[in-house]
Amino acid sequence: MKSVETRVETVEALRRVVAAARAGGKRIGLVPTMGALHRGHAALIDASVAECDFTVVSIFVNALQFGPQEDFAVYPRDLDADQALCEEHGVDVVFAPTPGEMYPSEQRTFVDVTGLTDGLCGAFRPGHFRGVTTVVAKLFHIASPDVAYFGAKDAQQLVVIRRMVRDLNFPIEVRAVATVREESGLALSSRNRYLSDEQQKGAAAIYQGLQAARALLEAGETNPERVRQAVRDELVKEPGLREQYVEVVDAEELERVKRIEGRTLVAVAAYAGKTRLIDNIFYPDLPT
């Protein structure tokens, strides 16, 4: 097992260790996270460790991407456990900056990916993606990775970041990693810690809905309304779940389609109590 050389907290220190790795001819992988790491994050880390020579994991709960009524203050933070997971998985350096390090003065410069952020989660979380793309752009400039890893679990985020990279000529490959799930099918999320046992069980209905959608798509269904309805039919069986949205969109522009053709994203957001959960499937496969 490789041990973590360092945990660094400053931009300058991270730049130094990454520059040294690059000078040694190493290919740099970056896994941006908000911590409270679980097996989903570990899958991203494993992909980076397998494909790159030097893996950076950033851990930063980014206030900029939380709305005023959202869970920024109570978002789970456990840096020691996170560091241990990183060590087990062969991470080279953990970058855990303070808010003051990332935002030393009021942030007046933002990255906004238009259009793609209007629908799905963007419609319910105004400013969220602006916060995400701004912090990810900063992390890209700070860590200057060759490859960056994002989970398909946050499908809209993945598509938005890919577009930012293309539109702004970041010399970075973005890799998508398939969603890691509980045995019940529930997608792993740091927010699952908020769920009671009963809520956890009920939340698996989201996966049941997505499986029903997949079955229809595999059978050749081209009517998006029928696919949406199949998801909803599963969600309503679970009284503990409250749908926020079910959408069937094309996987590139994230626009509703009249007829399903080409790569498609079926995306769900639902509340279990106060906890907002999201999940999705890309069909027939992940965007490359």
Size of the site for ligand AMP (CB under 6 A): 17
Nearer to ligand AMP, 33 or 199 (CB): 33
Per the DSSP assignment, residues forming a β-bridge with 176 are 150
Q: Does 151 bind ligand AMP (CB under 6 A)?
A: yes
Which one of 180, 205, 267, 281 is in contact with ligand AMP (CB under 6 A)? Answer: 180
Give dist(CA 264, CA 203) in Å, integer: 23
Determine contact, residues 143/58, Cβ cutoff 8 Å: yes
Tell me the window of 89-97, 110-118, 149-157, 167-175 that interacts with ligand AMP (CB under 6 A).
Answer: 149-157
The answer to whether 221 and 260 are in contact (CB under 8 A) is: yes
34, 172, 246, 260: which one binds ligand AMP (CB under 6 A): 34
190 makes contact with ligand AMP (CB under 6 A): yes
Residue 188 in the binding site for ligand AMP (CB under 6 A): yes
Q: Which is nearer to ligand AMP, 125 or 153 (CB)?
A: 153
* CA atoms lying within 13 Å on the CB side of residue 24: 11
According to CB under 6 A, which one of 7, 17, 18, 40 is a site residue for ligand AMP?
Answer: 40
Residue 96: CB minimum distance to ligand AMP, A: 13
Contact call for residue 177 and ligand AMP (CB under 6 A): yes
Q: Should residue 153 be labelled a site residue for ligand AMP when binding is judged by CB under 6 A?
A: yes
Contact between 150 and ligand AMP per CB under 6 A: yes
| Identity of the residue, 16 or 193, whose beta carbon is nearer to ligand AMP in the bound complex | 193
The answer to the question of residue 154 lying near ligand AMP (CB under 6 A) is yes
The smaller minimum CB distance to ligand AMP, of residues 188 and 212, is found at 188
Residue 140's φ and ψ, nearest 5 degrees, are: -65, -40
Which residues have a catalytic role annotated? 41
Which H helix or E strand runs over 41? helix 39-51
Q: How far is the CB of 276 from ligand AMP (least distance, A)?
A: 12
Smallest distance from the beta carbon of 139 to ligand AMP, in angstroms?
11
Element (H, E) at 242: strand 241-250
* 117 in contact with ligand AMP (CB under 6 A): no
**Residue 147 contacts by C-beta under 8 Å, 6 or more apart in sequence?**
27, 28, 29, 30, 48, 51, 52, 172, 173, 174, 175
Answer whether 1's CB lies under 8 Å from 72's CB: no
Report whether 21 contacts 28 (CB < 8 A): yes
Establish if 44 lies at the interface with ligand AMP (CB under 6 A): yes
Give dist(CA 86, CA 57) in Å, integer: 8
Nearest 5°: the CA angle 226, 214, 33 is: 115
The binding site for ligand AMP (CB under 6 A) comprises 33-34, 40-41, 43-44, 150-151, 153-154, 177, 179-180, 187-190
